[in-house]
Amino acid sequence: MSLPITVIIPAKNEALNIRKAIDSVRWAEKVYVVDSHSKDGTVEIAESMGAEVVQFDYDGGWPKKKNWAIRNLDIATKWILILDADERVTDALRDEMAAAIQNPDIVGYYLRWKFIFLGKWMKRSWNHGWMLRLFRKGAGEYEDLGMRDEGGWDNEVHENIVVHGKTGTLENHLIHDTNQDLSYWIRKQNEFSDWNAKRRLNQLEEALPPMQDLLSNDPVKRRKFLKALYIRMPGKPMLMFVYLYIIKRGFMDGRASLFFCALRAMHELNIQAKIFEKQNLTGEH
């Protein structure tokens, strides 16, 4: 079965993951791997599996990798799927996509993660994660948050795809399971906290979104309202742990969840410390 979908996989040194990612979307009409000059065999693996590899050189501005791909690749299909190298599309999700793209009234679909941490599914502690990843060509692209060098990324990591038109949701999960070890994950979280500290300083200067966004059918609008409210609250590291481990019943996900929830709380502490550093030691904002 071949579906009229073009898959875009951003990558940089993803030899541990890229094979499984491409294998999970062999049903797609076209698979692009948009690479940033990987040195670990990512390109050779991707090409051996039939994907077309395109190199991306970041100039420090906008667009970054995913938006550049959306704008510049030769996409002949009506639908685009964005897939990170450490993600997998299950057969059930593929079948759901096949049915969903037949609906002429929908221009984009939100997917949710099945997030794997230390080999275990964080079924309760990290089960929100709605992301718009499947959308009609020409119907949308990633938002520009004005973030450039923070984190040192040439790729949109926290930005969301914004589409113009009616959206829907898909029930089957997109599996997120990196083959990297915990040290790698902690290093990436440290990089993410750099980005988040700068982003939150900018957000704190903005007004709260309108209250009606909390009741919106758009999960991104709801999430943005809740996040804008959350970043103004005190005691965020403790709140994060209590919310994930107790309120969301992360304790039912096993010992791996205890480590995950504690590390997420530490991530919040890192963000707060970096905000304090910027406000008090560097004079920013």
Residue 91 included in any domain = yes
Report percent pLDDT > 70 for the chain: 96
Domain boundary among 176, 199, 230: 176
Mean per-residue pLDDT, 31-45: 96
Residue 140 included in any domain = yes
Q: What pLDDT score was predicted for residue 149? A: 67
Contacts of 19 (CB under 8 A, 6+ apart): 45, 49
* pLDDT bucket at 280, cuts 50 / 70 / 90: confident
Domain that holds residue 130: 3-176
Mean per-residue pLDDT, 106-122: 95
**pLDDT reading at 150 higher than 80:** no
Q: What pLDDT score was predicted for residue 152? A: 57
Q: Would you say how long the chain is, in residues?
A: 285
SS3 label, residue 150? helix
- What pLDDT, in 10s, does the model give residues 204-239? 888 888 888 888 877 778 878 888 888 888 999 999
Residue 151 included in any domain = yes
Mean per-residue pLDDT, 109-119: 94
In DSSP notation, 30-86 reads: EEEEEES--SSSHHHHHHHTTPEEEE----SSSS-HHHHHHHHS---SSEEEE--TT
Q: What pLDDT score was predicted for residue 180? A: 86
Residue 285 included in any domain = no
Total domain count for the chain? 2
> Model's pTM, two decimal places?
0.89
Question: Using CA atoms, how far apart are residues 152 and 213, in angstroms rounded to an integer?
Answer: 31
**pLDDT reading at 60 higher than 70:** yes
Amino acid at site 91 = D
Domain boundary among 159, 176, 193: 176
Beta pairing, strands 167-176 & 108-117: parallel
**pLDDT reading at 285 higher than 80:** no
Q: Is 248 exposed, middle or buried (0-12, 13-18, 19+ CB in 10 A)?
A: buried
Question: Using CA atoms, how far apart are residues 181 and 13, in angstroms rounded to an integer?
Answer: 15
Residue 160 included in any domain = yes
Shared domain check, 260 and 199: yes
Q: What pLDDT score was predicted for residue 206? A: 81
Contacts of 252 (CB under 8 A, 6+ apart): 123, 124
* pLDDT bucket at 155, cuts 50 / 70 / 90: confident
**Residue spans of beta strands (DSSP E) within 143-222:** 161-163, 167-176
* pLDDT bucket at 279, cuts 50 / 70 / 90: confident
Domain boundary among 176, 194, 228: 176
Shared domain check, 147 and 198: no
Q: What pLDDT score was predicted for residue 284? A: 60
